[in-house]
Amino acid sequence: MPEPIIIHHNFERADAQHDAPHTAPKPRHVVESQQFTVPLLMELFDRSRLMERVVARGGTLDYQNRIMASLFYSPSMRTRFSFEAAMFRLGGRVLSTEQASAFSSEINEEEVEDSIRILSGYSDVIVIRHHAADGAKRAAQVSTVPVINAGDGNGGQHPTQALLDLYTIYRERPINGLSVAFIGELDKGRTARSLAYLLAKFERVKIFFVSPPELQMKPDILAYLEEHDVRYELESDLQRVIGEADVVYQTRIHPDRVHDRDRTLGRFAIDSAMVQRMKPDALIMHPLPRTAELDKSVDDDPRALYFRQAKNGLFVRMALLTMLLEGS
């Protein structure tokens, strides 16, 4: 029989991209992207690579006595399933609901704080998606066990999506010196906002925000980038910047938020013709689900990484769970 993979050990750097010390304080909760330092990211990515091996071997039973509560106030197939699969692959168990508002009490509308206080007594870690932008933060303030933000509000954050996005890039090339184009509905885009926070922690990064003017990135992100000396450009012409980006990160645009929607949606879409204008080694990413903004003709292009992104979510979320559970 093959030798078991031991999860609990001192992690050694696999691909150093930064000269910072390897060890970093472990987080109690994961609420926002800003809380991650480069050393902590590198440790998480080392763990994620280990989780790739763990999954290839069929998982582990290291966490068979641990319970994860999955509390989703709005549906999400990829995030919910990947978190639950992550816990099962670690040998743990899951308490789950995807309609948390109705599941608790439609009539009384139980406050998230009360729900979290109850679930803290039933589980070892709580994964929450809440409709309010401060939902995960409120949960973390009262929880006696680690809380993970699985996406909060419109224009909030989705830190674990950003972590898996960054890990996907990291597995392909160094992050320092990257140029990244975010395309789509950016003002309320949790994934773009969260990833921008993480990219700001690396050196010589340049970001293009490509969007209709009315959907452009909010000033809070731009102020954060300026504070950290990150170069960025606001752009409404995708064709002008598509050939400059090392990473093309496409997101959806909701049709009811733009004027002349057919023309607008077409201007910010990626298809086989637009792909021809990209760098030969550009990475094409999308948090999914997609609609017309990313044509299926792109799927067979070797630069298309979005399905690999989704798979990497399993490894990163397994790694994150181990990190939080070891500290609790």
| Residues 65 and 328: beta-carbon distance below 8 Å | no
- What is the percentage of the chain residues whose pLDDT exceeds 90? 72
pLDDT in tens, 252-266: 887 777 777 767 777
pLDDT at 13 over 80: no
pLDDT in tens, 224-277: 999 999 999 999 999 999 999 999 999 988 777 777 776 777 788 999 999 999
Strand arrangement of the beta sheet that strand 67-72 belongs to: 93-97, 67-72, 125-130, 147-152
pLDDT at 56 over 80: yes
pLDDT in tens, 95-115: 987 665 555 543 345 688 998
Taking the C-alpha atoms of residue 44 and residue 163, their distance in angstroms, rounded to an integer, is: 9
Q: For the chain, how many residues are written?
A: 328
pLDDT in tens, 296-326: 999 999 999 999 999 999 999 999 999 999 9
Q: How many CB atoms are located within 10 Å of the residue 15 CB?
A: 11
pTM: 0.89
All structural domains of the chain, each given as residue ranges with its CATH number in brackets, are 33-158+313-326 (3.40.50.1370), 173-304 (3.40.50.1370)
